[in-house]
Amino acid sequence: MKNRAIFLDRDDTLIEDPGYINHPSQVKLLPHVCEALIDLRQMGYKLVIVTNQSAVARGIVTEDGLEEIHQRLIGLLRHEGASIDRIYYCPYHPNGIIPEYRKDSDLRKPNPGMLLSAAQEMEIDLEASWMLGNSYRDIAAGMRAGCKTILITSAEKPAQRTATDPIPFKKAVNIREAVNIVKTYDQHSRFVETASEQEIQLPEPEAEPIAVSAGPDMEQNRFQRNHERRRGLGLMIPDTPIISRESQPFETAAFVEEESNQQEPSETVQGDRIEQLLEEMVRHLKGMHRESMFHEFSILKALAGVVQVIVIFCLVWSLWFLLDPQARISSVHTLIGYAAVLQLMVIAFYMMRDRK
């Protein structure tokens, strides 16, 4: 049996991307990466990094330097209990300044070369695998290799799609949500497979020979036993009085045929309802997840805070005037009046924000 794998882009998927990384000290893991990799490992996936590294062709870093960077990444993951099975990188670029690396390559994403090489060397089933990345190059490489794809696009660095870019299978705001998508898909697939196996392996009731000399009582008992056997197997059978085949041959045959016809639509409807319920739960959890991660910035709330500070300043200033024997009482009244008006403005701003 072949392995399943999660192919992962490196920069802005696992680690921060300040530009072209050329020193191990620049390697910084993104939030929740270690937890995500541990979850994927427990789900039975191989973890493979596939990354374009044109910095080698551009002369920014050597392959030895790139190896040190990747060792630093492996060490940070290992410190948190996570691990990677293998790292594939493409050092080539057609516009590179190093002649050795100045060329195009099938390994460079959006080409699927790195994924295909990993599949051959690690015995990976590409159809059962996923490609996770933050650019449409990653999505194109995954689709060309035959994988399911997830585009990780955040509000800070949204992926820009052109007309020729493929549409990803799913989208996620970070790697944690991507793991939840994979987990939900696997659970749904196992549920469908289990339901199919149970339907296929469902034993049929053994047919009992009908004696030619059987009378009405014997025939009715035989039909009742079959009816109870079906009910014991969990089949959907309406509570209908047992009818003797000899007394009502045509009605009984029609009743048995109607039972068999009603069974399959009932199971199909139940399967559709369960599938719809799972999808609705995923959408609900995803909405809760997104709401917990992002909060809408309110200009009215910020403005109300500024005005509230001015109100406090006016009240303090009026208290200072009261303590000064040479100050005019009219100045105190003026400051208190300003404070009251501004406080009403603060209340109005908060009411407008809540209404919005």
Q: Which of 9, 12, 39, 138 is catalytic?
A: 9
How far is the C-alpha of 121 from the C-alpha of 156, rounded, in Å? 36
User: Does residue 85 have an active-site annotation?
Assistant: no
Catalytic site includes residue 186: no
Q: Which helix (H) or strand (E) holds 7?
A: strand 4-8
d(CA 80, CA 324): 64
Are 38 and 73 contacting, i.e. CB atoms less than 8 angstroms apart?
Answer: no
**Quick one: which of 122, 113, 112 has its CA closest to 84?**
122
CA angle 278, 125, 185 (to 5 degrees): 5
Alpha helices, DSSP H only, in the chain? Answer: 33-42, 63-79, 113-122, 136-145, 175-200, 216-232, 249-293, 299-323, 329-355
Element spanning 6, H or E: strand 4-8
CA-based torsion, 168, 170, 175, 179: positive or negative: negative
Q: What positions carry a catalytic annotation?
A: 9, 11
